[in-house]
Amino acid sequence: MATMTYVNAIRDAQRQEMLRDPKVFVAGEDVALMGSSFGQTGGLYEEFGGERVLDTPISEGQIVSLGVGASAMGLRAVLSLDFCDFLGCCMDEVMNQAAKMTYMLGGQMCLPLTIRSNIGGEIGAAAQHSQCLEALFTHLPGLKVVSSSNPRDAKGLLSQAIRDNNPVIVLEHKALNPMTGDVPEGAFTVPFGKIELKKEGKDVSILSWANTLNKCVRAAADLEKDGIDAEVIDVRSLIPLDIDGILASVEKTGRVVIAHEAVETGGYGGEIAAMIADKGFDFLDAPIKRVGAPYTPVPFSGALEKHYQPNEERIIRAVKSLFY
């Protein structure tokens, strides 16, 4: 094990996969000389050169088109789009090309394409640079979607994405960049479609991912003081989703809270809640509760953004509402 920041774990995943497979290349905004806006590709240009680490124009449509074409021809493109808010600029390439190409060609080719992008607030980046838009991509058949809550998973999920023969959207939370943790050295993957049990419990299942997962862990510690033993699950792989693992937890606890930073209305938590209600209704002893952001753009004001963000207090309140 090595102690790494979230940012360095992301960088190491790309480096290890580039060492392992010469077909892997990185492209995107400022990935070469600058090493990306948050440093996730630092040093890769110096080590692998300009043919495998390519700076592109600030044109999301062009970046994803490059990745789709290269991946269709047998390369493994790792694309860096700094803010997921601007994936809207290339939705035709993502939604109608990357997600559909293998299906429309009858499986005659695969598309090993990875799109990395930053999500989330808490850094004062305002409405156009702070959104969590995972629900947009989970709705598109043909894409896999993952989002890590810690450095170990940041490396393992990204490495798995690069090796996957299908397009994968990897969503990395900006507020986690300085977070440190133990990360396996060398090549290492975290399989898709598997939850991680962050804390065992018997009274309620709290489901989350990305930065909000860590708030759920802290909330669970506070709930213990009030005699509530919460189980905390890191969903991390949104598509494919480990619904069997989730249902096993729900069967044990009988109560569910789903928390995420995305706007609650239309958020992916609603899909998970529907699956639980459909497949595990008999396990439930109380209604499923969701905790998400209000239906408004992310504020720039620090005070307003703090109020906007789902936090430990709101998670605790949602859990307690299932008991009292």
Residue 236: count of CB within 10 angstroms of its CB:
24
212 and 139, same structural domain? no
Same domain, 6 and 145: yes
Cβ(305)–Cβ(175) under 8 Å? no
Q: Structural domain tally of the chain?
A: 2
86 is a domain residue = yes
Neighbours of 318 (CB within 10 A): 19
Residue 189 C-beta-side C-alpha neighbours within 13 Å: 13
Same domain, 111 and 38: yes
Instruction: Report the candidate in 141, 72, 142 with the shortest Cα–Cα distance to residue 110.
Output: 72
Query: Are residues 202 and 167 both part of a single domain?
Result: no
pLDDT of residue 324: 82
CATH label of the domain that carries residue 221: 3.40.50.920
What one-character-per-residue DSSP string does 86-152 give? GGGGGHIIIIIIITTHHHHTTTSS---EEEEEEE--SSS--TTS----HHHHHTSTT-EEEE-SSHH
| Eight-class DSSP state of 185 | S
How do the pLDDT tens digits run along the chain, 324 residues long? 999 999 999 999 999 999 999 999 999 999 999 999 999 999 999 999 999 999 999 999 999 999 999 999 999 999 999 999 999 999 999 999 999 999 999 999 999 999 999 999 999 999 999 999 999 999 999 999 999 999 999 999 999 999 999 999 999 999 999 999 999 999 999 999 999 999 999 999 999 999 999 999 999 999 999 999 999 999 999 999 999 999 999 999 999 999 999 999 999 999 999 999 999 999 999 999 999 999 999 999 999 999 999 999 999 999 999 998
CATH at residue 25 = 3.40.50.970
As annotated, the active-site residues are: 129
DSSP per-residue codes, 250-313: HHHHS-EEEEEEEESTT-HHHHHHHHHHHHHGGG-SS--EEEEE-SSPPPSSHHHHHHHS--HH
Three-class SS of residue 16?
A: helix
Same structural domain for residues 157 and 220?
no
Write down the pLDDT at residue 154: 98
Name residue, tokens 């939850």.
195
| Other CB atoms within 10 A of residue 314 CB | 16
